[in-house]
Amino acid sequence: MDKEIKHLRTYAKGKKSGASAWMWQRITGLALVVLTIGHYIMMHYEPKSGHDYGSTASRLSDPVFKGMYLGFITIGMYHGVQGCWNVIRDFKLKPWLSYTLFGTLVILAFIFLGIGYNTVFTFDPLKP
Amino acid sequence: MAYIPNREPIGSWSRIMMKYKRNGGSWAYLLHRITGIGLTVYLFVHIWALSSLTKGNAAFAAEMKTFTTPPFKVAEWLLGLLVMWHAFNGIRIAVVDLGNGAKYQKTLLKAVWTVGIAVVLLMFILIFQTELFGHPIL
């Protein structure tokens, strides 16, 4: 029991140990497993209707689907960038180099999130 | 742990790769990272590709037609391979980190390989059903 409490307390230290980042990595990871499997079934069970413009348009006019897509790319980006930071840090690069790589990745992630959000919000199903 | 820390500065990527112990779990760890980087890159590509939705029906349909050509179908299957490995091994990592889960890591790894290979083969049949059977089976 004492060991368990001690174990939980290491998570409470959070920022110092990076444990909270690791915990979020697992939480977002499990969320992504559920979302990805759902996405795969939805898009590929009936590949034609999954990928045509009409069905995409009807999904994107549904606020629940809109929210799901936005959540999906946001969680995915967080998980991906956090994971890459883990990999970068393991290579024992010079600090300026690892921070530059990570910074570039974060900026790119925000730009592409912007593109994704723009697609979802400015999508017009009536456009020819 | 898969990675053996050392004190000397590391010159090249190949040298760091040689420092991994060659156990099943180490390969899983390495594959998890490689597939993870691959999937992050794919997420960028995916968002970029789907931004054509804002250009209207014709542009989107033309793009989708490109994505159903054989090279893209192979790429789709390879993507499925990355996704399935990363997802199943990710579940294993989460379980191993919970309470007593580390006891079962080797059993879980076997399960990951079994389920993973089964799903990836099933995906192959589903993606190439027209090429394999001459007509769609689903």
CATH no. for residue B117? 1.20.1300.10
**For position A32, what pLDDT does the model report?**
94
DSSP B102: G
**For position B1, what pLDDT does the model report?**
46
ipTM of model = 0.82
Choose from A119, A121, A122, A124 for mutation: most chain B CBs within 10 A. Answer: A119
Q: Is residue B138 part of a domain?
A: no
Q: Is residue B1 part of a domain?
A: no
B3 strand-pairing partners: B20
**For position B91, what pLDDT does the model report?**
92
CB contact under 8 A, A30 and B53: no
- Low-confidence residues in chain A, pLDDT < 50: 14
DSSP secondary structure letters along A69-109: HHHHHHHHHHHHHHHHHHHHHHTT--HHHHHHHHHHHHHHH
Separation between Cα atoms, residue B91 and residue B74, nearest integer Å: 26
Domain span holding position B33: 13-133
| Burial tier of A25 (Cβ tally within 10 Å: 0-12, 13-18, 19+) | buried
* Partner residue opposite A80 with nearest CB, options B13, B40, B48: B40
Number of domains in chain B: 1
Separation between Cα atoms, residue B43 and residue A22, nearest integer Å: 21
* Partner residue opposite A127 with nearest CB, options B44, B56, B91: B56
Only one residue has tokens 């174990």, namely: A7
**For position A103, what pLDDT does the model report?**
94
| Burial tier of A40 (Cβ tally within 10 Å: 0-12, 13-18, 19+) | middle
In this structure, which topology does domain A2-122 adopt according to CATH? 3 helical TM bundles of succinate and fumarate reductases (1.20.1300)
pLDDT for B10 beyond 70: no
**For position A3, what pLDDT does the model report?**
62
How large is the average pLDDT for residues B130-136? 78
Q: Which amino acid is at A50?
A: G
Q: Which tens digits make up the pLDDT trace of B40-90?
A: 999 999 999 888 888 888 888 888 888 888 888 899 899 999 999 999 999
**For position A74, what pLDDT does the model report?**
95
Q: Are B136 and B113 contacting, i.e. CB atoms less than 8 angstroms apart? A: no
**For position A104, what pLDDT does the model report?**
95
Residues of B in contact with A81 (CB under 8 A): 40
**For position A51, what pLDDT does the model report?**
77
